[in-house]
Structure 1
Amino acid sequence: MDDQLSRVFSALADPIRRDMVARLAVGDAGVNELAEPYDVSVQAVSKHLKVLEEAGLVSRTRQAQRRPVHLEAEVFDLMTKWIERYRRRAEERYRRLDDVLAEMDTEQTPEKDDERGASR
């Protein structure tokens, strides 16, 4: 699982590949369609797609002469679970920190009141 997760994050580290994934979220596309907005060759786009394919983020099918690229959205479930696990841990730490700060604030409040009373 971690090995695939590493490949997924590594594949998404490149801005062109992230953009391709975002575009494929709207629907399948061919290599030429995916290459259009970039100032790179179709061969470079094919290499980017190979990285995405090896990470399990996309797959290619054959429809007559066309080979559309399809986003494999289930892979995002793997990423989401991993991120969620660490998000929950971080939230728990922040909750504990909030409790400590609230306790410190409660302990300091009576002193502030005593100082105000003494200055009057």
Structure 2
Amino acid sequence: MVELEAPQLDTIFHALGDATRRRMLRDLAGGERTVSQLAEPFAMSLAAASKHIKALEAAGLIRREVRGRTHLCRLEPGPLASAQAWLNFYERFWVDRLDVLDRLLRAADARPTPTGDDA
């Protein structure tokens, strides 16, 4: 069974559970962004954007650096690797189960069907 530091994974999946935060992460994959730049595509205040950013920071998914009055954010991909490892375990689980189902269905298809002549 895979657990991979459950509290950290809880925080990561909580952060990833919001479409706004996922979009922010996708934007950060293209390079550093300011808080204003991250908030720009959404109809939200900087305070609301900051709450989303704090959730991403708490999960370790981004790092914020203050340069003067500007807050720059950058993607930290390490925690995504932990989430991916957790997902990979369940992907293997389901692939194995679907392979068994496939074999059973192929075996059932290969069996001769009764023709009804004996009745």
Query: Is TM-score (shorter-chain normalized) higher than 0.5?
Result: yes
Higher strand share: 2
Runs (4+) of structure 1 exceeding 2 A deviation are: 62-67
CA shift, 1:99, in A, is: 1.1
2-structure distance, mates of 1:70, 1:20:
10
Aligned CA-pair RMSD? 1.6
Match of 1:24 in 2: 28
Higher helix fraction (1 or 2): 1
State whether structure 2 residue 87 is matched by structure 1 residue 83.
yes
- 1:85 aligned partner, one-letter code: F
Of 85, 103, 120, the residue aligned with 2:107 is: 103
Deviations 1:21-48 (A, max 9, x none): 1101111111111111111110110111
TM-score by length of 1: 0.86
Report the structure number with the largest CA radius of gyration.
Answer: 1
Paired residue total: 113
- Three-state SS of the structure 2 residue aligned to 1:61 is strand
Amino acid at match of 1:23: D
Instruction: Give the TM-score normalised by the residue count of structure 2.
Output: 0.86
Matched-pair identity in %: 35
Of 8, 12, 17, the residue aligned with 1:13 is: 17
